[in-house]
Amino acid sequence: MSGLKNWDNKTWVSSANYIKSFTRFILKQNKLNRDSKILDIGCGRGKIIANISTKIRLKNKPIGIDLENNSNIDKRIIFKKINALYFLKYNKKNFDLILIKQTIHLLKIKEILKLLNLCKKSLTPNGKIFILSLDSYKNELPVFTEMKKKLIISLNRNKKIIDLILKANPKTILKKYVFKTKIYKKKYINMIRKKYISILLNLNSKQIEKGVNEINFNYKKVIKFNDKLVCLIIKK
């Protein structure tokens, strides 16, 4: 999505603690080794798969694809600025892990079904697809009024997407990932102004500044919350 360059840049998602925590979560759910092949769809700067690569000492660099050519892309990955559907359609490699983290909601329903079919064709016999999105039922993301309205719409769509995926893949395994987040309010406000999350992209400057005033009024100097994700694990 055009303009979405800040989701993993100087947020808690880019912190060393988050990356280590998320790496542990992935490796606990999926047995990977030095010979494993990894693909990250919507990789951002590639910090997560780069850390996984270092942790298990991958022989081959993991591949990260994204429509945004972000700055500071991790050199431990092979980055491709390309549409995921196009990449997978002509891809001849098989992967042990295909990671789709907080990206699936940006696609149209038909694109999601097509993407998953292509992903399954690109898996090794024991490969897995990991799809992660915001927990639609127990979300604690700090919000202001207009942001909350957008978030509710997004979470409702998330529910439909998850139901669709489960219907098409009845053997899907569901897991939850929770990261205890602590962030200075000043830093969070800066993230809001940079529109770090997709639901903020269509808000104008007046709406953003009104939201900043709400955050200032409603939250303490240090904001604490649980960043909750639902993880769908699909096998070939």
Please list the pLDDT of the chain residue by residue as tens digits (236 residues). Answer: 444 454 555 678 888 999 999 999 999 999 999 999 999 999 989 999 999 999 999 999 999 999 888 778 999 999 999 999 999 999 999 999 999 999 998 899 999 999 999 999 999 999 999 999 999 998 999 999 999 999 999 999 999 999 999 999 999 999 999 999 999 999 999 999 999 888 999 999 999 999 999 999 999 999 999 999 999 999 98
Q: Cα(235)–Cα(231) distance, rounded to whole angstroms?
A: 13
What is this structure's pTM? 0.92
Domain 12-235: assigned CATH number: 3.40.50.150
**Do the Cβ atoms of 144 and 211 come closer than 8 Å?**
yes
List CB contacts of 22: < 8 A, sequence separation 6 or more: 48, 177, 179
| Domain limits, the chain | 12-235
